[in-house]
Amino acid sequence: MDPKLLTEDRWKAVAQKFKVKDKELQKALCVYEFIDDEEYDDRLKELANLNRLASGLKKSKELASQPEVVKYLTDFLNTVQTVVRDVTKAKASSAKDAITQKKAEAAAKEEDEEEEEDEESDYPKRLLQAFAKLKGAKDVAYQFLVCDTKPFPTLALAKRITPKHKQELMDMTEGSKRFLKVGSCMFQDGKFNFVMDEPITGLARKLQASIKNFTGKKLPIVVGSETAEEEEEQSGAEVKRPLENATNPNLPKPRGGGLAISGTVGRGGKNLPQDVMAVQTALNNRIKAGLNVDGKCTPQTIAAIETFQKNLGQFKPDGRVDPGRGSARALAGTGPLPPPPPAPAPIAPPKLGKPELAKAPEVWHGTRKILDTNIKELKKGVKAHYGSEHSDLLTEIDASLVKLDGIMEKLDDKLAHSLAKAHAAKDPAARAAELKTSKVILADYIKYVKSEPMIAHIDSNPFGVQTNLKKVLTDSLMHMAQSIG
């Protein structure tokens, strides 16, 4: 089996060499190459289409006198059948793995725990108990699960991570599903070593900051080859990574100022009575919340924090007031709050219509306009969310957001110009030559979109801005390929 037989370029070369009149098989191959390996149903559907088209060509009278093409199509169809078997087998294996996983989760849920877990309000206590047990055990590994949310990630640590742990983290983070893959943790050489298949840069310090926020304890944390202490030295105690500075919940340390509280108040916070009372008093003064100043972090208190944050321009409030951060700084102010900024208004993915070479340049220009608009709307959402932060932090965020413009620079307007030139060509040879250039440019774009993690990172931003960059680009690039074909 030669997988390259199922590529547009391979068939196009054969068709041109033997002057085979065909457009449908070439277009189908173009579509097939766009499908991800794990999209089993889509692959099987398109493989069936390839089989139909190739079989039709093979049976045509026009090709009866061209044994080389017939042999190629025979090998092509054999390859299709082999790939169909492989995809069907992979699909079945995937389904079996999913069933096995569900059974394992169900069994784990039914299995009695050695100790009853405390109520959700005792999350800090349970987390410290898990670290203490792990530290006291020898050559024992616990599982851990991280929900990567702002302003701190939440962490579950247990002998075995169950759906109950996942649900608890979702409840603590207002339904967030930004989960990292489950890993293992051991206590070695005086440090808690978090082991992952693909260690994430900066996670050690983020976990240490999260644990300290929830429990008040600063534990020695190692993730992969990084320790929290080393990260602090390398970054000068500040997070400097470009895009993640703006869209990752774990921003640089607060610069001080704001409401005088010693710990976080609100959802998932330490909620020390004196801190809660300070926040309740400030909310009553700033937005007439009408809270009972009793030092208890009630649902009404969290709801009032969210209302206050929405008034600040946070379109996806977290219901937390952290010492020295934007909400605490704004609560320390006086007088009425200014009107909140307008919510971001990104453009939804459009319907592109029938692929035509004449209209392709306009479609690509439209795609770039959507990308530019939605990136700008995300920037607007980020700046509004952190509008009350320290000016130094805002300066860092502005500098970080500049990297988003790299997407527009990479996906430039060269493709539109090339397609327009191909359409305007006066003879078939000139058009074919320019379309070849268009295809090279398109292939570069496709490779970039598939390999650039920033696109998915932007789409999963925690600010409630529906950028949909991946869908807009995938639909448009597919449209361009069909227009060229």
For position 393, what pLDDT does the model report?
Answer: 66
Residues 178 and 221 grouped into a single domain: yes
Full domain range(s) for residue 188:
120-237
Residues 162 and 139 grouped into a single domain: yes
For position 51, what pLDDT does the model report?
Answer: 93
What string of H, E and C letters represents the secondary structure of the chain? CCHHHHCHHHHHHHHHHCCCCCCHHHHHHHHHHHCCCCCHHHHHHHHHHHHHHHHHHHHCHHHCCCHHHHHHHHHHHHHHHHHHHHHHHHHHHHHHHHHHHHHHHHHHHHCCCCCCCCCHHHHHHHHHHHHHHHHHCCCCCEEEEEECCCCCCEEEEECCCCHHHHHHHHHHCCCCCCECCCEEEEEECCEEEEECCCCCCCHHHHHHHHHHHHHCCCCCEEECCEEHHHHHHHHCCCCCCHHHHHHCCCCCCCCCCCCCCCCCEECCCCCCHHHHHHHHHHHHHHHCCCCCCCCCCCHHHHHHHHHHHHHHCCCCCCCEECCCCHHHHHHCCCCCCCCCCCCCCCCCCCCCCCCCCCCHHHHHHHHHHHHHHHHHHHHHHHHHHCCCCCHHHHHHHHHHHHHHHHHHHHCCCHHHHHHHHHHHCCCHHHHHHHHHHHHHHHHHHHHHHHHCHHHHHHHCCCCCCCCCHHHHHHHHHHHHHHHHC
Residues 293 and 216 grouped into a single domain: no
Q: Report if residue 260 sits inside a domain.
A: no
| Domain final residue pick, 217, 237, 257 | 237
Q: Report if residue 355 sits inside a domain.
A: no
Residues 124 and 222 grouped into a single domain: yes
Question: Which position has the higher pLDDT, 92 or 244?
Answer: 92
| Domain final residue pick, 218, 237, 256 | 237
Residues 379 and 309 grouped into a single domain: no
Q: Report if residue 132 sits inside a domain.
A: yes
Residue range 214-263, pLDDT digits in tens? 888 889 999 887 887 654 444 333 333 434 444 444 444 444 456 888 88
Residue 120 has pLDDT above 70, yes or no: no
Residues 392 and 477 grouped into a single domain: yes
Question: Which position has the higher pLDDT, 111 or 119?
Answer: 111
Number of domains in the chain: 4
For position 384, what pLDDT does the model report?
Answer: 81
Residues 83 and 11 grouped into a single domain: yes
Residues 43 and 105 grouped into a single domain: yes
Q: Report if residue 258 sits inside a domain.
A: no
Average pLDDT (361-368) is 95
Ranked by mean pLDDT, the top range of 60-64, 99-103, 276-280 is 276-280
Average pLDDT (304-328) is 89
Residue 2 has pLDDT above 80, yes or no: no
Residues 20 and 44 grouped into a single domain: yes
Q: Report if residue 249 sits inside a domain.
A: no
Q: Report if residue 255 sits inside a domain.
A: no
Which of 77-91, 165-179, 377-391, 450-464 shows the lowest mean pLDDT across its residues?
A: 377-391
For position 351, what pLDDT does the model report?
Answer: 92
Per-chain mean pLDDT for the chain: 84
